[in-house]
Copies of this chain bind each other. A is one copy, B any other.
Amino acid sequence: MRDLDITEVAQRSGVPASALRFYEQKGLIAAVGRRGLHRQFDPSVLERLALIALGRSAGLSLDEIASMFAADGRPRVDRKVLADKADELDRSIRKLQSMRDGLRHAAVCPARSHMECPTFRRLLNIAAHTDRKGTKKSSKKSSAARSLKRKSK
């Protein structure tokens, strides 16, 4: 398959050209050459972009993802990193689950005001202590999140 120009890569990957240039600048992807000024990409860049998307979905920062590519450009995914990320996701999931259950309850709770509902108040307590305190120690953790916001534009 012949090389792709930036617009084709953008179309096939769903990643805007501006983002592709940004990724190149960050060293996440590389053009195989130029035709005039225009970047030419090897089709394998699509796979790499999928890998990047995966990393982002798992909550990795672009810098973290960059460090997962060896100097030769081939992915060098540390299995321990994967396991750690999985564990981290697991913690996030649990937190979100209790949040969801609490919200669900509050939505149907018969108490006149949410403040009078014990379940809601318990939820409040969880949130109050979970938030700035619960995970503060675990620095640089549970980034597994912005991803979701990012997806929805």
Contact = CB atoms under 8 A, between A and B. Distances in A.
Contact of A89 (B13, B54, B82, B103): B103
Interface residues on A, range: 35 or more
Nearest to A137: B152
Interface string A34-78: 000000000000010111011011110000000000000011010
Given A58-B99, A75-B115, A131-B56, A136 B107 contact: no
Contacts of A130: 53, 57, 151
A29 to B, nearest CB: 14
A79 B108 contact: yes
Given A93-B100, A99-B58, A103-B83, A149 B153 contact: no
B115 A138 contact: no
Identical copies of this chain, number? 2
Given A49-B128, A124-B51, A145-B148, A57 B99 contact: yes
A18 interface: no
Contacts of A101: 86
A139 interface: yes
Interface string A92-109: 110111011101101110
A9 interface: no
Given A53-B132, A75-B115, 12 more contacts: A51-B124, A57-B127, A77-B114, A82-B103, A89-B96, A89-B100, A95-B148, A131-B147, A131-B150, A138-B152, A139-B152, A143-B149
